[in-house]
Amino acid sequence: LSAGSESIGILGGTGKEGRGLATRWARAGRSVSIGSRDIARAEAAAIEVAEASGGKVRGVDNSGACEADVVVLTTPFAGLDATVSEHATRLAGKVVVSAVNPLRFDAGTISTVAVAEGSAAELVAARLPGSRVGAAFHNLSSKILLDLAHEIDEDVPVVADDEAAELVITGLCADLGARGVAVGPLTLARYVEGFTAVLLTLNRRRKTQAGIRFTGID
């Protein structure tokens, strides 16, 4: 794979985050497949995203989205295990990037859900031994992604092995118009995922869409 040309499939792509990412990637000229458990929902989302982006977007079931070169996961955490387990065979040999945050929203507080594997991304890696699993986009608000007038001025922490991180940073992050930063291996995913609770709480208090910016790196 050469960064920049891969097709992108999104499992759970009909939701806010999936549509937001799809819109930016389609606008950048990527071939994007929005996956869903319900093909009619996927087709409706694909029409919307194609109109908003002026790009090339297909609505398919989640199995169809697994056919893309790179597969991004944007299901809620509650549906993640079943989704990746169901598609493990189709995802073998692919780069799979999780954007899933294991968060709990109750009584006005946002906290993390304990994950036996350590993080949502490590759960994915455990279920997909034949895939190359990374994680990114956890902290990037769908509201910002969907507002194409908004230039993304925040960083995207990327957790993955070096080769997959390179592909995510120079390909997927660059096409969002965001700076991707390789922070290290998948064992760090729990902190990137969990930090989203901080951002969401801050965003509620300040009525904004705060993001992350690393200083002191080129």
Using CB under 6 A, list all residues that contact ligand NAP.
12, 14-18, 36-38, 41, 74-79, 82-83, 99-101, 103, 137-138, 140-142
Cα gap 105→112, rounded to integer Å: 9
The answer to whether residues 100 and 139 touch, using CB atoms and an 8 Å cutoff, is no
Which alpha helices (DSSP H) does the chain contain, by range?
16-27, 39-53, 62-65, 77-86, 88-91, 120-127, 142-146, 162-167, 174-176, 189-206
Least Å from the CB of residue 218 to ligand NAP: 26
**Which has the closest alpha carbon to 11: 127, 165, 178, 177?**
127
Give whichever of 55 and 77 is closer to ligand NAP, judged by the CB atom: 77
Give whichever of 20 and 55 is closer to ligand NAP, judged by the CB atom: 20
Give whichever of 52 and 99 is closer to ligand NAP, judged by the CB atom: 99
Report the amino acid identity of residue 94: K
Least Å from the CB of residue 101 to ligand NAP: 3
Least Å from the CB of residue 98 to ligand NAP: 8
Give whichever of 152 and 162 is closer to ligand NAP, judged by the CB atom: 152
Least Å from the CB of residue 35 to ligand NAP: 8
Structure tokens at 119: 């993080």
Least Å from the CB of residue 38 to ligand NAP: 5
Percentages of the chain per state (helix, strand, coil), in multiples of 5: 45, 20, 35
Give whichever of 137 and 171 is closer to ligand NAP, judged by the CB atom: 137
